[in-house]
Structure 1
């Protein structure tokens, strides 16, 4: 892909500018001095935030909205029969899909930290972002969920550091330019595209090979270790559950409700205590990975501990919505059996009398392929309700 495609471009038009993946890109490009316009079909909080930046937004998608643009960006969700996309493709002006633009943007930073994995991407990207933000780093960020400290899913900063959630779906992450890659885990997902777990492992191998400086990977995950076989020319750092990894947690203690304490270890040496306010042992591992990434770009352990102590989760990741009549309501985006298992085990370990899981299956293909695993995961809580 031509990473110089934005050179000399002045006016960029976003089709679907209110999308969670479009808004952070609009923030970054706006800050870099491009003139932006955008359109969307629905009035949202994000759309208002775009307007507040001084970006003109059209409600409703029409061919004339693209007038004057010398580059047009659209989300993958825009249908081929969308009048604005049809006009864009007929205009002779370059047209980019959002993930291609994200790839170009990551190439602008000397320390693009790209977080990949079947599970935990949003949480871990949010944790790294929170650590850096709390430490006073003026970073740019692209997250697949909302993070309270940056008031949304992205931000534009002046430093050479960017955090970016790197999604493997349809090999999107292979369009990025990672300097530091974080590989959390590899599991059977998106099999409608990949076909087999072996193909997913091959894609993660390609992603690791793309990385310019360092790969921080889960040394306790067999599939991730397999993906790392033959990776050369970059620093390889492991995190995991046991002392044979470079970074690992020790003395994990569930103090109360959502609070967990552990010692962060580095090659046998104790760095200090981490206090987490997000539930589950999977988040201990996510925090260990986030700490390794932040320390790689020069953040002290003290600032890592401070950032993680202030982290209260990303939107829809075991997010406490409130308490009504003695009932605690939590919202979680878990949509794969492995994620459901981790989330529901964490809920069952808390001091609740009963746990009700109300589950909405997400995509027909995933549900059909992993039906037995879903049944097993949904047998963990006291009661399960299926929509």
Structure 2
């Protein structure tokens, strides 16, 4: 790896976390000596230990002296006064932020597909990966969620091709270089980093700047915010005397795209729904047509499939591989995941914590066979809830019934005076039907009172609330 010596000893603080766990596995595959720490053993740490990775519990200074790392990798959740960080600083060791380490990792690959966007990153990254695997290209893959066939969040593969999820939080994806960059959409999110939508657009423009001149930028063609980011990036390329990468716009119609000023080069035609599942043709420039039947619901997943198909196609996937992957893909963990049955109801969990994502997921569920839909919702972070309060209300107001859990945040100490109860009250003021529950057991009792066989229990939000799906369906 550039900037990191070959065969180095690398220590991951918080190695049980979903992202750090995957990075540790990829680092071991790349030939580094890997160790790390966590406060408690878990299923994820057990898997790493089975692979011969030394893990320390809990996080204490002596771990650093025992493992003798060359480098440490940490996340933003690890505070500066962490005992292992303090000891590493005393010894003068180099400490990488998770995103810095992942960025260095991307630079070791000949071809890198980085998938960005406010919504749909994990699904799109998964789809691309499966298309390339079906083609026999053996990509290395880094995801933001578990995928069953990987047995985790990563797949260790070829050194020639990396497919990685690129998150804009805290500008982390500005550490990544791309030969193909995918932007699924641009919405106002991570408001603690980006006070305005203009700030979000600007950081995506900067992300585009990091694409190879001979590379590709795959985008949702009708996203006006993407169009602004592309124009801003083009100005930079022109001023730097660089050639702008080839843009591939994707759309579900043949109207002129805001991003390119032309009809999309990758389109969905003949869209129909069978029991809520989309069926359509993917058309590349009228020359190649691929018939697809998705196993995951929602119009938004048609867009995800188009972006994935375009990125995979220009990286060597054939129409047959694209078709096979999309027709078999059942979704990544926490993205419209059917956990099982509870008292005759389908229990579905989804990470849709943002108002836009919640609206799309509720729409997808409404097209599935059901009697009623009971939505259980938990907002993520107080800052986001405050800034997007009215959007939360409008996205959840049409639901027949919404049960709210309290806002979850693991990186804020100030509630900003916000509570899920405020959203619930505002929905009721506007004629909706919402209830707020601080107590988990009371929430579960209320679910029991409301449901009947044939309903869908739709649990939306961060992992904290999605674990309710496991409680209701301990065995899938």
The residue that corresponds to 1:186 in the other structure is 186
Answer yes or no: is the 8 Å Cα contact 1:9–1:71 preserved in 2.
Answer: no
TM-score by length of 2: 0.79
Q: Cα RMSD over matched residues?
A: 1.3
Residue aligning to 1:291: 309
Match of 1:253 in 2: 272
Consecutive unaligned residues in structure 1, runs of 5 or more: none
Distance 1:201 1:241 in 2: 23
1:23 maps onto 2:46 in alignment: no
Which among 29, 32, 35 is matched to residue 30 of structure 2? 32
In the alignment, what sits opposite 1:226?
228
Q: CA deviation at 1:351?
A: 2.1
Give the conservation status (yes or no) of the 8 Å contact 2:9–2:69.
yes
Give the unaligned 5+ runs of structure 2.
238-242, 255-262, 406-476
Instruction: Provide closer, same or farther for how the CA distance between residues 246 and 117 of structure 1 changes in structure 2, counting only shifts above 3 A.
Output: same
Which residue of structure 1 aligns with residue 300 of structure 2?
282
CA shift, 1:339, in A, is 0.1
Q: Is the 8 A contact 1:263 1:270 kept in 2?
A: no
1:377 paired residue number = 395
- Within-5 A mapping of 1:1-387: 4-8=2-6, 10-67=8-65, 68-212=68-212, 213-229=215-231, 230-231=233-234, 232=237, 233=243, 234-243=245-254, 244-257=263-276, 259-387=277-405
Q: Distance in 1 between matches of 2:288 and 2:161?
A: 27
* Contact persistence 2:281–2:289 (CA under 8 A): yes
Instruction: Please give the alpha-carbon distance, in whole angstroms, between the structure 1 residues aligned to 2:88 and 2:130.
Output: 38
Deviation at 1:137, TM superposition (A): 2.3
TM-score, normalized by length of structure 1?
Answer: 0.96
Is this contact kept in 2: 1:128–1:290, CA < 8 A? yes
Higher Cα Rg, which structure: 2
Provide, for residues 82-114 of structure 1, a one-character-per-residue CA deviation record: whole Å limited to 9, x for no partner: 111111122111111111000000001111100
Q: CA deviation at 1:10?
A: 2.0
1:194 partner SS: coil
Q: Counterparts of 1:360 and 1:195 in 2: how far apart (Å)? A: 22
Contact 1:334 1:340 in 2 (8 A): yes
Q: In 2, are the aligned partners of 1:138 and 1:159 still within 8 Å (CA)?
A: no
- Large movers: runs of 4+ above 6 Å: none
Aligned equivalents of 2:105, 2:159: Cα separation in 1: 14
Give the deviation of 1:159 after TM superposition. Answer: 4.0
CA contact (8 A) 2:248 2:265 kept: yes
Deviation at 1:133, TM superposition (A): 2.2
Q: CA deviation at 1:19?
A: 1.2
**Structure-2 separation of matches of 1:8 and 1:345:** 49
Contact 1:218 1:225 in 2 (8 A): no
- The CA deviation at 1:8 is 4.6
Alpha-carbon distance in structure 2 between the residues aligned to 1:324 and 1:82: 42
Alpha-carbon distance between aligned partners in 2 of 1:17 and 1:184, rounded to the nearest angstrom: 29
* Alignment check: 8 A CA contact 2:7 2:33 kept: no
**Matched position secondary structure for 2:332:** coil
The CA deviation string for residues 135-172 of structure 1, in whole angstroms up to 9 with x for no partner, is 32221111000111111101211241111110011111
Shift of 1:264: 0.4
